[in-house]
Amino acid sequence: MNSLIQLKHARLLPAEKTMLIVSTFAGLIAVSSFLWQGQKVDWAAYGSILAIIVGLVGMGIFYRASGRSERIGAATICAGLFIYFTVCLSLFNYHLLPVWRAPIDVQLNQIDQFFGYHWPSIIEWAGQHPIINNILRYAYISTMPQLALLVVILGLSGRIKELHVLILTITITATFTICWWGLFPSFGASSIYQISAAIEDLASPELGTAYGHYLVSLGENGPQFITPSEIKGLIGFPSYHTVLAVAALYASRTIKWIFPIYLVLNILILPGVFVHGGHHLVDLFGGLVIAIVGLYIARSSVTSQYEKHKLPEMVAG
């Protein structure tokens, strides 16, 4: 009973506060940088997204504070914070453009070659196996919908602790990954290769050589105009798609009816990052390390906070 009273009187719980603080700090740095540099930004579009975020978080706080439903409260608060975090961290990533040093893709490719990995050969193979190629494509592009669905399901099913582990894992891993990329930028294998149009057209990778070379141009010159509809994923090493695949799979393990689907999808994402993410081989292993370490830190932190504040791991409907 006491733990439920604590939930009722809490506006934001520790993991939620962490995501909010990190998002706001990163967003303020990015916005200040853009204003100082005179960078053109679609402020109206970002304002519209912010209004949606405020609406979601506000509704969640109302449901939590009024005692109507902690499940709905947690789901809507975390959904709003997840969108807010994604927007702020993508802006923070873009404020690091143009990059301060040459990308490390040549060095990463040398590691790939040591292990016998050759990205153009992967694309050629994918083009020769269209069914497998398309399965990997749909798995690859399922990452963000998977996470959005997880936030809702974990919240509405009362798995609040697992929801907080998920959002804190994303907070920790994304922040570290972007900061690492700021020091050692990379754009993936697709940025350093030229493939014949005939071969690339057969595979039609989601992020092919044109995208890779566009990222190199962004790295050299910076963006002319920043708008949410045109924001691109910039990071080669470590593969953040891999991080999210591991985080989603871990978070789904307590939901019996959805776990088998997530298991298949996220296993398929791993080869998918090569074909459709344009990644080096080493990018995947970097992503796996970041995911495991981030999950460990997040789980330990959330468990400590739940024990300290005597919060329930599951909330009844």
The Cα 152–Cα 150 span in angstroms is 5
Structure tokens, 217: 């141009």
Asked if residue 231 has pLDDT above 90, the reply is no
Q: Say what the pLDDT of residue 8 is.
A: 52
Domain housing 193 = 2-309
Nearest-10 crossing angle of helices 281-309, 259-275: 140
Whole-number Cα distances in Å, 229 to 32, 48, 49, 112, 165 = 21, 12, 11, 33, 29
The gap between the terminal CA atoms of the chain, to the nearest Å, is 14
Structure tokens, 255: 């939901």
3-state helix, strand, coil in the chain (%, to 5): 75, 0, 25
The Cα 242–Cα 64 span in angstroms is 33
Question: Is residue 75 domain-resident?
Answer: yes
Quote the mean pLDDT of the chain: 94
The Cα 271–Cα 180 span in angstroms is 23
Residues near 198 by beta carbon (within 8 Å), at least 6 away in sequence: none
**pLDDT tens digits for 184-217?**
999 999 999 999 999 999 999 999 999 999 999 9
Q: Say what the pLDDT of residue 232 is.
A: 84
The 3 state secondary structure assigned to 66-101 is HCCCHHHHHHHHHHHHHHHHHHHHHHHHHCCCCCCC
**pLDDT tens digits for 27-84?**
999 999 999 999 999 999 999 999 999 999 999 999 999 999 999 999 999 999 999 9
Question: Is residue 145 domain-resident?
Answer: yes
Question: Is residue 278 domain-resident?
Answer: yes
Question: Is residue 256 domain-resident?
Answer: yes
Asked if residue 154 has pLDDT above 90, the reply is yes
Q: Say what the pLDDT of residue 2 is.
A: 46
SS3 at position 222: coil
Cβ-based neighbour number of residue 123 at 10 Å = 28
Question: Is residue 122 domain-resident?
Answer: yes
Asked if residue 5 has pLDDT above 60, the reply is no
Question: Is residue 315 domain-resident?
Answer: no
pTM: 0.93
Average pLDDT over residues 95-113: 97
Q: Say what the pLDDT of residue 313 is.
A: 82
The Cα 19–Cα 264 span in angstroms is 29
**pLDDT tens digits for 74-96?**
999 999 999 999 999 999 999 99
The Cα 133–Cα 190 span in angstroms is 17
Proportion of the chain above pLDDT 90, given as a percent: 92
Domain count, the chain: 1
Question: Is residue 314 domain-resident?
Answer: no
SS3 at position 41: strand
Question: Is residue 317 domain-resident?
Answer: no
